[in-house]
Structure 1
Amino acid sequence: MALSKDENLRINKLLYNALMNQDDAEVIHICRGIPKGPLHTLTIHEDTVLHMAIYQKKPELALKLLEMVPSSDTHKLTWQNGGGNTILHETGTNKRTVVVAKEILRRARMLLGMVNKEGETALFYAARHGKTNIYMFLHDEVGRTISGLDLKTFLRRDDRFTILHIAILSRNYRVAYDIASNHKELINEKDANDMTPLQLLSTIKPQFSPKTSFKRMMFKLVDANVDDQESKFSFIRGLKKEKHSCEWAMKLATLLIKSDNSWEDTESWTDNRGSKFHEYRTTTLSAEENMITATTQEADDFNKAQTPLLLATINDSTVIVREILRLYPQAVEHVDKHGHNILHLAIMHRRYSIIDVVEEMKYPLDRLRGRLDKNYNTLLHMVGCKVDELKEDVKHPAQQLKEDQRLFKRVEKICTTLDTVTRNADQKTPSEVFFEANDEIRSQAKEWMSENAKNCSIVAVLIATVAFTSAYTVPGGPDKNGHPVLRDRSMFLLFTFADAISLSTALTSVIIFMNIVTSPFTFDDFASSLYEKQLAALILLIISVTMMMVAFAATLVLTITSEATWSNMTLYSVSFFPVIVFVYSYVPEYSTIAKDMFRVLKKMMGKIHNMIWDNKPQSTRVIDGSLNSLSHSPV
């Protein structure tokens, strides 16, 4: 007997609330009292009670509901909701439903090949949700049932997306690696946007290693078994999951890269001849020729996706770039439709780590450094052709301009002398392109540094005034001879040093800030030492404030201290607490400065090592190499 509309609404409300409240007994009780039982459509999207129970990770309830479906109604298990998903599709949304999927297939095996409205089988659906356990189970079931050309339904969707594409997009690299290993024909398949799996992997920038040294150390202490749930600490479980993802991402990337040779299909770098080295032109293009050029350029813009090497460069996936160049070093010469090679793109997108990778390859660097793109831009032009991107670490204008100037000098050392005066299609030299591109940033940097220097100068003067006054009003006051009463106390020595340092650093920072304010703020000023002056003045100001706090704490301890040890400890803690908070607040700034210095020092030491090695006699190199090989050979 069919339910009335009002009765149906009432039943749906009760069932929905029971499912949301985890009341399995109530769900079973209600299902026993309605005609369709567990196959009753519950939601406005035509999900049955079984659909909902499976989706909500309730395998025990799902099995009990399946038992309520008589064998004569097995064909009713093929019901599809509004999106075309069967109950077998729903098992692909979580990893606890393998036992439910096994029971469903025992009763209705035809569900294995049914597709939803997007053309996805249950196997494809499990890969889309990135659930390893249920994917592996369904894949084994498909392998036992289907073979040959019939597998196409299970591996491809209606919109040309393959199961490998979708697994990569779901960030389940374990599943993606299994798919690529078992179905190698999918490795070079392209989706509707002509993207191969490796191209997709290059754009999503997977994490191949931990970002911090602490996590790298912790990775060595945990295994990558994500199925082990014995650990009670969520932090440990998270580490295992992250390590598992990193390891399988690396395995997947290596597998895909070995099968990729798209870089062989390259544009010609000799098509861009005819660049100018001075501003005088003998001929100009006619309007018709300009129109033809513009139309051709517009047609070129509507093109296929770039190769994985260049996509990885654009998306700052250094590991993929390094791995591609390790397996195919000749791929470094690939050129895209605009005539850009890997260095053009790395400079334009500010991928410093990738520039480092190419610089390590000395011979390819010699071949790439003089190349022009199709607008006759050299590598040095690219510094001024920066691509605007949304980034987490937003830098202030002065720092941004300084980094661009450092990059300009770095690329200038790579390029040939001729490249520094070469004019592009707009008849501009690299310097002109750089100045035009950064003129607005220079104005912003000037305003920012001026205001910052003025404000900090006021703070520094106030600190210097306090420190100067404190020097004449020492703690405890003077004796009859004018000497400080507490001069023999150890804390008095600390007060004296702290006050003197605070006064001297404050005054020094004022001098530097005044020098910044009176600067003309030209590009040369920013390139030379303007940014470094501001950084030095800020560091001196921070030291001054810190020392003023230390002097205050020492004064407090000298004047209020008592004999009781516990009260002394409390007083010390209260007095020095502002110092600790202040220093901790600026730890990120210090760490950034330290990292930059370490990176520069490391690069400098590497160059010194190479210079020493290059200057060694050949015989000495052979002996050193022999000794090195002997030291690493097994005994």
Structure 2
Amino acid sequence: MALPKDQELKINKALYEAMKSKNDDEVIRICRGIAKGALHITSIHGDTVLHMAIYQKKTNLALRLLEMVPSCDNHKLTWQNVGGSTILHETATNNRTVRVAEAILHRAPMLLNMVNKEGETALFYAARHGKTDIYMFLHDEVCRSNEGTYVEASLKRDDKFTLLHIAILSRNYRVAYDIATNHRELIPVKDADGMTPLQLLSTIKPEFHPKSRIKSMMFKLIDTDLNAQQKKLPFGKKLRKLKKEKHSCEWAIKIANLLIKEDNSWEKTASWSDYGRSMSKLKPDQMITTAAEAKLDHTADTPLLLATIHDSTEIVREILNIYPQAVEHVDKEGHNILHLAIWHRRYEIIDMVEEMEYPLTRLRGRVDSNYNTLLHMVGHKVDDMKEDIKHPAQELKEDQRLYKRVEKICTTLDMSTRNANQKTAFEVFSEANDKLRAEAKVWMCENAKSCSIVAVLIATVAFTSAYTVPGGPSETGHPVLKGKPMFLLFTLADAISLSTALTSVIIFLNIVTSPFHFKDFSSHLFEKQLTALILLIISVATMMVAFAATLILTISNQGKWSDVTLYAVSFFPVLVFFYSYISDYWNMIVGFFRALKKTMSKIVLGFHNMWDYKPQSTYPVDGTVHFSSISHV
């Protein structure tokens, strides 16, 4: 008999409060007073008390509630909520309910093959939530209880999504590895979007190694035993988080290697052709005449190219380590890995290919189906969400640096090669960046004008301070506090502030009056702005130091504690300013040393090649000519 509405609301409220306060005895007491007991529906989504207890990881409560259900009502355990989830589906959401799942299947084994409204069994649900222990248990039960087609049906969803797909998407690489090992038939299976598990892995950018050196060192000191109790330690939660990250990295490498070894999609490549080197070979009706027709429409269908597009550098590296010949793969639009890496600005992948000398020789000089060389691709850019927002001048500077870099890779002929729109690489680059150059000009002018005003104000204050020194002059005209150390600090700081402020003003004026040619951005304009900004920051910092020194000279009363307080208050703005810009300066210093290291490596390599030079290696005795010797022809 159904309960009155008001009474049912009171019972549901009492059950919610009892579960919220973790009062298991009260929940049991309330359920004993209800006709349906543990199967009483207590949520607007059709969840029973058992559903709620299992979802909240209350193992003991769930077992007690299950005992309340008579054996003759075992068929009622198949109740599904609004989403179609059974109580077995709820056990798949955490690892603490393995005992509950075992007890449920003992009484209602038919739950193992029941699916929710999305076509997911409890096993599929466990893989989706990334819970290893409950997944292992349910997988063993499925393999033990079912055979043939029943097992296969448990591994797939109605929309062709497999267990391996969902495990990879949930970032549970341990489960994904187990699935790929035990069910290798799922490795080449495609979902409704035509994506294999490896293609899916290539798009989610898995992390194989920690990015920071500190975390890398910590990984070496900890194990990956996730079952070890760390709660008693003050840093137990952080340690467990590090263990999970290390565990994820280790299994990500394993599943990636397994899937890559089973994948041979890179062998099915488009025809490798230069498509001719002169546009005169094209018929008029074959030429692309509009920008809309020339738009690059890429649909990469291999893990290598997908990983390149989505910046999954680790996946690209693993594929090329196992199959180095895959670097020559070409898609249906004629794009190789370098075309896509340049187009999507994947600098780490460009570095990787550049280090592979022989593959680089094979890839340079190639054009796509629209006759775009590698140098043409610099002029194309994908408009997507960027991790960091850069100002127009910096973005233009990076594009110009990339153009020069790719120019060194390409052959001499590539510089004059015209694409399907009868445009050279430089013409494409200039047209693509013309709007960006205008934006960079406006940004740099406004920035220079604003900074010039600040620099002039600082210079005015510094100039005035030089003639109104702390303590004033003596009868002879010399400063009264001349002999004190703080006066020397004030003098140096004020002089540096004045000189750097005036110098920055001169540089900013030079920027404002610049013609803003393309070559100006690539040669000196950006460096001038950076130099002026650094001088302005130094000017502000030294002005703060001069202020602090002045405050100490004029107010100090030789009291120990009062002087300590005065020093702290005076230099506090300096510390705040230093903290605000320390990250920018640190990145600048790191970038400088990286560039210096790279330059030194090239110099050392150049000297090594000079002393080891062998003329006969270029033109062998047998009369053959190496490809590298004719690549620039």
TM-score normalised by structure 1 residue count: 0.91
Partner of residue 60, structure 1: 60
Q: Is the 8 A contact 1:477 1:485 kept in 2?
A: yes
Q: Is the 8 A contact 1:254 1:323 kept in 2?
A: yes
Deviation at 1:273, TM superposition (A): 2.6
Counterpart of 2:585 (choices 590, 605, 616) is: 590
Where do 4+ consecutive residues of structure 1 move more than 6 Å?
300-303
Partner of residue 29, structure 1: 29
Q: Is the 8 A contact 2:94 2:134 kept in 1?
A: yes
Structure 1 counterpart of 2:125, one-letter code: Y
Partner of residue 256, structure 1: 259
Distance in 2 (alpha carbons) for counterparts of 1:410 and 1:324: 25
Distance in 1 (alpha carbons) for counterparts of 2:601 and 2:107: 67
Partner of residue 411, structure 2: 416
Structure 1 pair 286–427 and aligned structure 2 pair: CA distance change class (3 A): closer
Distance in 2 (alpha carbons) for counterparts of 1:406 and 1:360: 18
Q: Is the 8 A contact 1:275 1:376 kept in 2?
A: no
Structure 2 counterpart of 1:355, one-letter code: I
Q: Provide, for residues 157-187 of structure 1, a one-character-per-residue CA deviation record: whole Å limited to 9, x for no partner.
A: 1111110100000111111112112222211
Partner of residue 188, structure 1: 188
Partner of residue 342, structure 2: 347
Partner of residue 115, structure 2: 115
Deviation at 1:9, TM superposition (A): 4.1
Deviation at 1:16, TM superposition (A): 3.6
Q: Is the 8 A contact 1:333 1:341 kept in 2?
A: yes
Deviation at 1:3, TM superposition (A): 2.8
Partner of residue 545, structure 1: 540
Partner of residue 629, structure 2: none
Q: Is the 8 A contact 1:95 1:131 kept in 2?
A: yes
Distance in 1 (alpha carbons) for counterparts of 2:116 and 2:262: 32
> Is structure 2 residue 460 aligned with structure 1 residue 457?
no
Counterpart of 2:248 (choices 245, 248, 272) is: 245
Q: Is the 8 A contact 2:63 2:100 kept in 1?
A: yes
Partner of residue 239, structure 2: 236
Structure 2 counterpart of 1:604, one-letter code: T
Q: Is the 8 A contact 2:289 2:421 kept in 1?
A: no
Q: Is the 8 A contact 2:130 2:175 kept in 1?
A: yes
Distance in 1 (alpha carbons) for counterparts of 2:519 and 2:117: 63
Partner of residue 95, structure 1: 95
Counterpart of 2:550 (choices 527, 549, 555) is: 555
Secondary structure in structure 2 of the residue aligned to 1:411 = helix
Q: Provide, for residues 250-293 of structure 1, a one-character-per-residue CA deviation record: whole Å limited to 9, x for no partner.
A: 222122111111100011121733543xxx89852189x999x9
TM-score normalised by structure 2 residue count: 0.92
Secondary structure in structure 2 of the residue aligned to 1:96 = helix
Partner of residue 494, structure 2: 499
Distance in 2 (alpha carbons) for counterparts of 1:242 and 1:75: 42
Partner of residue 623, structure 1: none
Partner of residue 125, structure 2: 125
Q: Is the 8 A contact 1:269 1:373 kept in 2?
A: no
Distance in 2 (alpha carbons) for counterparts of 1:608 and 1:149: 65
Deviation at 1:467, TM superposition (A): 1.0
Structure 1 pair 577–149 and aligned structure 2 pair: CA distance change class (3 A): same
Structure 2 counterpart of 1:30, one-letter code: I
Structure 1 pair 375–275 and aligned structure 2 pair: CA distance change class (3 A): farther
Structure 2 counterpart of 1:241, one-letter code: K
Distance in 1 (alpha carbons) for counterparts of 2:496 and 2:253: 52
Q: Which moved more, 1:232-241 or 1:247-256?
A: 232-241
Partner of residue 624, structure 2: none
Structure 1 counterpart of 2:470, one-letter code: P
Q: Which moved more, 1:401-410 or 1:244-253?
A: 244-253
Deviation at 1:27, TM superposition (A): 2.1
Distance in 2 (alpha carbons) for counterparts of 1:87 and 1:602: 61
Deviation at 1:455, TM superposition (A): 0.6
Partner of residue 514, structure 2: 519
> Is structure 2 residue 33 aligned with structure 1 residue 38?
no
Q: Provide, for residues 309-339 of structure 1, a one-character-per-residue CA deviation record: whole Å limited to 9, x for no partner.
A: 1111111111111111111110001111111
Deviation at 1:556, TM superposition (A): 1.3
Q: Which moved more, 1:229-238 or 1:165-174?
A: 229-238
- Structure 2 gap ranges (5+): 615-633
Structure 1 pair 310–302 and aligned structure 2 pair: CA distance change class (3 A): closer
Distance in 1 (alpha carbons) for counterparts of 2:515 and 2:422: 29
Deviation at 1:375, TM superposition (A): 0.5
Partner of residue 631, structure 1: none
Partner of residue 534, structure 1: 529
Q: Is the 8 A contact 2:274 2:366 kept in 1?
A: no
> Is structure 2 residue 261 aligned with structure 1 residue 266?
no
Structure 2 counterpart of 1:12, one-letter code: N
Distance in 2 (alpha carbons) for counterparts of 1:431 and 1:519: 22
Secondary structure in structure 2 of the residue aligned to 1:586 = helix
Counterpart of 2:393 (choices 391, 398, 406) is: 398
Structure 1 pair 548–271 and aligned structure 2 pair: CA distance change class (3 A): closer
Structure 1 pair 579–302 and aligned structure 2 pair: CA distance change class (3 A): closer
Structure 1 counterpart of 2:414, one-letter code: D
> Is structure 2 residue 304 aligned with structure 1 residue 315?
no
Q: Is the 8 A contact 1:453 1:514 kept in 2?
A: yes
Q: Is the 8 A contact 1:275 1:425 kept in 2?
A: no
Distance in 1 (alpha carbons) for counterparts of 2:286 and 2:594: 51
Counterpart of 1:443 (choices 435, 438, 448) is: 438
> Is structure 2 residue 430 aligned with structure 1 residue 430?
no
Partner of residue 617, structure 2: none
Partner of residue 50, structure 2: 50
Distance in 1 (alpha carbons) for counterparts of 2:582 and 2:356: 36
Q: Which moved more, 1:149-158 or 1:513-522?
A: 149-158
Distance in 2 (alpha carbons) for counterparts of 1:340 and 1:574: 61
Structure 1 pair 218–385 and aligned structure 2 pair: CA distance change class (3 A): same
Secondary structure in structure 1 of the residue aligned to 2:284 = coil
Distance in 2 (alpha carbons) for counterparts of 1:611 and 1:350: 28
Partner of residue 154, structure 1: 154
Partner of residue 631, structure 2: none
Secondary structure in structure 2 of the residue aligned to 1:424 = coil
Distance in 2 (alpha carbons) for counterparts of 1:243 and 1:88: 30
Q: Is the 8 A contact 2:274 2:367 kept in 1?
A: no
Distance in 1 (alpha carbons) for counterparts of 2:286 and 2:55: 66
Q: Which moved more, 1:566-575 or 1:602-611?
A: 602-611
Distance in 2 (alpha carbons) for counterparts of 1:527 and 1:96: 60
Partner of residue 480, structure 1: 475
Distance in 2 (alpha carbons) for counterparts of 1:237 and 1:470: 57
Q: Provide, for residues 581-619 of structure 1, a one-character-per-residue CA deviation record: whole Å limited to 9, x for no partner.
A: 111111232133223323322322332233233234499
- Structure 1 gap ranges (5+): 620-635
Structure 2 counterpart of 1:39, one-letter code: L
Partner of residue 177, structure 2: 177
Secondary structure in structure 2 of the residue aligned to 1:97 = helix
Secondary structure in structure 2 of the residue aligned to 1:549 = helix
Deviation at 1:379, TM superposition (A): 0.4
Distance in 2 (alpha carbons) for counterparts of 1:571 and 1:17: 56
Partner of residue 227, structure 2: 227
Q: Provide, for residues 540-563 of structure 1, a one-character-per-residue CA deviation record: whole Å limited to 9, x for no partner.
A: 000000000011111111222232
Distance in 2 (alpha carbons) for counterparts of 1:349 and 1:161: 29
Q: Is the 8 A contact 1:121 1:153 kept in 2?
A: no
Distance in 2 (alpha carbons) for counterparts of 1:600 and 1:147: 61
Q: Provide, for residues 411-453 of structure 1, a one-character-per-residue CA deviation record: whole Å limited to 9, x for no partner.
A: 0010011101111111111111111111111111111100000
> Is structure 2 residue 68 aligned with structure 1 residue 74?
no
Partner of residue 510, structure 1: 505
Partner of residue 614, structure 1: 609
Secondary structure in structure 2 of the residue aligned to 1:285 = helix
Q: Which moved more, 1:483-492 or 1:409-418?
A: 483-492
Partner of residue 140, structure 2: 140
Structure 1 counterpart of 2:438, one-letter code: S
Distance in 1 (alpha carbons) for counterparts of 2:223 and 2:361: 43
Deviation at 1:494, TM superposition (A): 1.2
Distance in 2 (alpha carbons) for counterparts of 1:401 and 1:117: 51
Deviation at 1:356, TM superposition (A): 0.2
Deviation at 1:577, TM superposition (A): 0.8
Q: Provide, for residues 375-417 of structure 1, a one-character-per-residue CA deviation record: whole Å limited to 9, x for no partner.
A: 0000011011010110121000000000000000000010011
